Structure 1
Amino acid sequence: MVDVACPRGVARRLMEMGLLPGTRVRVVRVAPLGDPIELRLRGYSLSIRRREAAGVRLGDVREAAAVAAAEAIS
């Protein structure tokens, strides 16, 4: 996972649940109508709403590490 770009309260909640930059995330399944979405991360499953998932930016693990390092510097 690269970044969480949601409204502040939603972003905080997602990060408290383990969605942090650099975390490996796998989409397990999406419900038939697209809501909720089941993710696998840090050894557990997490289901989130489509509107929450829309703010989660996934990318290459190296990209996530670079973003996290840049944020730590600034």
Structure 2
Amino acid sequence: MILLSLKPGNRARIEPWKTVPESSLLRCQEMGLLPGVEIEFIRRAPLGSPVEIRINDFHLVLQEEIASYIEVTLI
């Protein structure tokens, strides 16, 4: 499943990269969006983008385009 399909409050683990374009891969890695990392989906903006997630004790806001590439598994 992709990160965008999560609902507020869902917790998930990021899966190994398969579909992230090279142009976005480095940016994702810099933000800590690495395979195996656990996240919590916080909310989606009213018009769909951006989305807010929590990793450990900090919040990230991601563009819908980047979030659509990130595959996750519910935990």
TM-score of the two chains, using structure 1 as the length reference: 0.74
Amino acid corresponding to residue 2 of structure 1 in structure 2: E
Q: Which has the higher contact order (CA 8 A, sep 6+)?
A: 2
Q: What is the aligned counterpart of 1:29 among 36, 40, 43?
A: 43
1:29-52 CA-to-partner distances (Å, cap 9, x unmatched) read: 000010000010132100001110
Separation in structure 1 between the aligned mates of residue 61 and residue 37 of structure 2, nearest angstrom: 16
Separation in structure 2 between the aligned mates of residue 14 and residue 28 of structure 1, nearest angstrom: 18
Structure 1: tracts of 5 or more residues without a match: 62-74
Which residue number corresponds to residue 6 of structure 1? Answer: 20
Structure 2: tracts of 5 or more residues without a match: 1-13
Rg comparison, structure with higher value: 1
Larger relative strand fraction: 2
Q: How does 1:59-70 map to 2 (within 5 A)?
A: 59-60=73-74
Which residue number corresponds to residue 67 of structure 1? Answer: none
| Residue 40 of structure 1 pairs with residue 72 of structure 2 | no
- Using the aligned pairs only, state the percent identity: 31
Deviation >3 Å, runs of 4+: none
